[in-house]
Each structure stands twice: as structure tokens, then as C-alpha cells.
A and B are shown apart, each in its own frame.
Chain A
């Protein structure tokens, strides 16, 4: 089946991102397709490459980046939510006159339409949030 996932919360603050990650990994291991993982609300904070979590615990952003690379996942960070919270790619940074960008590997910034499209195209869409 084709599954889409929505992540509404940031890393560590809530278990949402972890649960979404474990679900995504299990679905892929079972041979399902994860057509898109869409990060909304504080979920966009999963997409910053500047997190430096303690070494003895999981690095959530890195886990998503690695999973994305391994399975060619489409990890999309909502542009509107990202702008509010300061997650930028190079284009966004340039457009808004910011000194740098921080989007992590494997993530891309795009519009809310990507969420709706994911809902239309997938067989199921599962939301992880608070």
C-alpha cells in the first residue's frame, strides 16, 4: 500500500516524531511505500541540521535524514510553518535576507498543497501529533 505520514510536533518535545519514524520504518520494512512524510506545525523543527542532541540518545533529525536517504523518502517541511519557526533552505534564506539556512539533509521545503496531494494519492494518511 501507499502510505503518507503527517508529523505535527517537533523532535524531543513530544513523542510524535519518534512514533512517526518507527511507524514509517516498520511500513517500509513490510514492503509498503511511504509516499511522503509531511512536517507541519512544530513538526518543521525536525528539519533543522543544527541540532546537537546528547551523544547517548537518538538524533531524531539524523534518523529521518538517514531513512530518507536509504529509501528515497520525500520528507517535506511546510514552508508557511517553517517561515514562522525559522527553518530555511538556501532559497528561502536568500529571499528573506537571512544570513544562513538550516534545512537538514533529505528534507525539502514546500507548500501545504503537498500535504493535500499526499492525502489524495496515498491509500492511507496517518497523523502523528499532540
Chain B
């Protein structure tokens, strides 16, 4: 049963990402969107935490990256950028969804 977890708050503002990663099982997916996308900026403390979570498939919402001026060249390895269509696909492809607020 693979769950899709979403995180929409910045890792430097809230502990949401940490809490999500503490509970996301291997084989599940994490989608970062809204301010949550800052976690995939290469060189950030959160990026380090994400690297440790190797059993998780990582996604970030492209429109939110673009809005915040984060370029493709700034992203950590291993993150797949999706748009809202992709967000919908992630929801339908996973057994269940949990939004970490």
C-alpha cells in the first residue's frame, strides 16, 4: 500500500517535513509544493535530510519552484518535477494520500 505524502510548508519554518519523513514508509512518495519546495534546494539542510530518506520517491511541484525563482540547476538529485497534472496523477496512482500541514 503506497501512500502519497504532501508537504507544503518550508522546512526552515516548520517541522512538517521532518515529521513527514519520520513517518513515510519506504516505497512511499513525498510531494513538496507551495513553500515546501524549498526542501529540494541543493545545499540546504533539508536537502541533506532528504538524501537520507533514500527509500522514498521525491517530487516537487514545478509551478511552485518557478514562482519562487528556484531554477532546475538548483535542485537536489533525485527529485522529479511535476506540474498540477502530475500532482493529480500522483494522487490517483497511490493508494492513499496524507497532507502534512
Give me the interface of A with B, judged by CB distance under 8 Å: 1, 3, 8, 15-16, 19, 22-23, 25-27, 29-30, 32, 123-130
Interface size class of B (residues with CB under 8 A): 10 to 19
Binds A, one of B19-27, B47-55, B83-91: B83-91
Complex Cα spacing A19 to B91, Å: 14
Using A16-B34, A124-B92, A127-B99 as known contacts, list a sample of 6 further A-B pairs with CB atoms less than 8 Å apart, ordered by residue number in A: A15-B8, A15-B34, A22-B84, A26-B84, A26-B85, A123-B92
Please judge, given known A-B contacts A15-B8, A19-B33, whether A30 and B101 are in contact too, CB under 8 Å.
no
> In the complex, are the beta carbons of A8 and B101 less than 8 A apart?
yes
Q: Which of B9, B34, B89, B97 contacts A19 (CB 8 A)?
A: B34
Closest to A127 in B: B99
- A1 vs B90: C-alpha distance when bound (angstroms): 12
Q: Which residues of B contact A (CB under 8 A)?
A: 6, 8-9, 33-35, 63, 83-85, 87-89, 91-92, 96-97, 99, 101
Q: Which A-chain residue is minimally distant from B16 (CB atoms)?
A: A130
How many cross-chain pairs have Cβ atoms below 8 Å apart between A and B?
Answer: 51
The complex places the Cα of A19 from the Cα of B8 at a distance, in Å, of 10
Whether A32 touches B92, Cβ cut-off 8 Å, given contacts A19-B8, A127-B99, A130-B9, is: yes
Query: In the complex, how many angstroms separate the beta carbon of A115 from the nearest chain B beta carbon?
Result: 14
A23 touches B92 (CB 8 A): no
Q: In the assembly, what is the distance between CA of A124 and CA of B89, in Å? A: 12
Q: Closest CB-CB distance, A75 to chain B, in whole Å?
A: 19
- Alpha-carbon distance between A84 and B47 when the two chains are bound, in angstroms: 41
Q: Is the CB of A124 within 8 A of B96?
A: yes
**Contact present for B84 and A23 (CB under 8 Å):** yes
Q: For A1, A19, A29, A129, which residue has the most chain B Cβ atoms within 10 angstroms?
A: A19
Shortest Cβ distance from A6 into B: residue: B99
Taking a contact as CB atoms under 8 Å apart, the answer to whether B87 and A26 are in contact is yes
For B92, list chain A residues within 8 Å (CB): 1, 3, 32, 123-124
